[in-house]
């Protein structure tokens, strides 16, 4: 799949705007609902999504050093502190002010910012039963996922290939083809749900 940078930029903006609209309508109990990120409520996930807009590289580096050189520990501390300091309205406003922010994860490709927003958006919206991104947008993220990403997220697909039924994309290689919605493929690939457990629920 050939993806132009302009197309990805438009999709990033559209996804951030879509999520900001959804988050703006959350009730207090929804902000405090558990997310797909273990130990984080919806508000911690949204706080984490805004981290690139609130921090500067040197402060992030200092925070990682204080966290024992663990980015995950630093990100957890930052999300919890920010969720305590900022209410939902402030987090949504910050997200809206950065619809066109050019940030992307260091050292990653053009689709990485979209991946960050789509995956964490699902972390927050899936448990609440809220609308999901368009399959074509999810497919852009899936097209960039390879064995390195599956290993990073700890996704076990057992030599199977997950093929989207609502978009032209697949993830993994193997003789067994597993048809799934693009959104569910991404949840498996990102380690949010187990492939075997997902299919057990579908039977």
* 34 and 112 inside one domain: yes
Read off the pLDDT of residues 36-95 as tens digits, 9 standing for 90 and up. 999 999 999 999 999 999 998 889 999 999 999 999 999 999 999 999 999 999 999 999
How many structural domains does the chain have? 2
Question: The tokens of 9 are what?
Answer: 């930029």
Q: Which domain holds residue 175?
A: 135-203
For residues 32 and 70, what is the distance between their CA atoms, to the nearest angstrom? 26
For 179, the enclosing helix (H) or strand (E) is strand 176-180
pTM of the predicted structure, to 2 decimals? 0.93
Q: Which range among 37-41, 50-54, 119-123, 198-202 shows the weakest confidence by mean pLDDT?
A: 198-202
The CATH number linked to 44 is 1.20.120
Q: What is the largest CA-CA distance in the chain?
A: 50
Q: Do residues 48 and 2 both lie within one domain?
A: yes
Residues 172 and 195: their CA atoms lie apart, in Å, by 12
Distance (Å, whole) CA 8 – CA 64: 29
Which run of H or E residues covers position 163?
strand 160-164
140 plus 65 within the same structural domain: no
User: With contact defined as beta carbons under 8 Å apart, do 37 and 123 qualify?
Assistant: yes
């Amino acid at each position: 799949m050939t993806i132009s940078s302009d197309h990805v930029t438009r999709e990033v903006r559209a996804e951030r705007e879509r999520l900001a609209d959804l988050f703006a309508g959350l009730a207090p109990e929804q902000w405090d609902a558990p997310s797909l990120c273990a130990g984080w409520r919806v508000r911690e996930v949204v706080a984490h999504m805004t981290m690139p807009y609130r921090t500067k590289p040197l402060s992030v580096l200092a925070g990682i050093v204080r966290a024992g050189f663990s980015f995950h520990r630093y990100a957890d501390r930052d999300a919890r502190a920010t969720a305590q300091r900022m209410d939902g309205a402030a987090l949504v406003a910050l997200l809206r002010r950065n619809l066109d922010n050019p940030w992307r994860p260091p050292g990653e490709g053009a689709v990485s910012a979209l991946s960050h927003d789509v995956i964490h958006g699902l972390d927050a919206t899936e448990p609440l039963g809220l609308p999901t991104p368009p399959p074509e947008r999810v497919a852009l993220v899936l097209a960039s996922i390879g064995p390195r990403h599956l290993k990073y997220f700890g996704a076990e697909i057992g030599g199977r290939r997950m093929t989207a039924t609502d978009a032209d994309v697949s993830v993994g290689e193997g003789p067994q083809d597993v048809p799934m919605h693009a959104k569910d493929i991404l949840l498996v690939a990102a380690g949010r749900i187990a492939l075997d457990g997902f299919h057990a629920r579908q039977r």
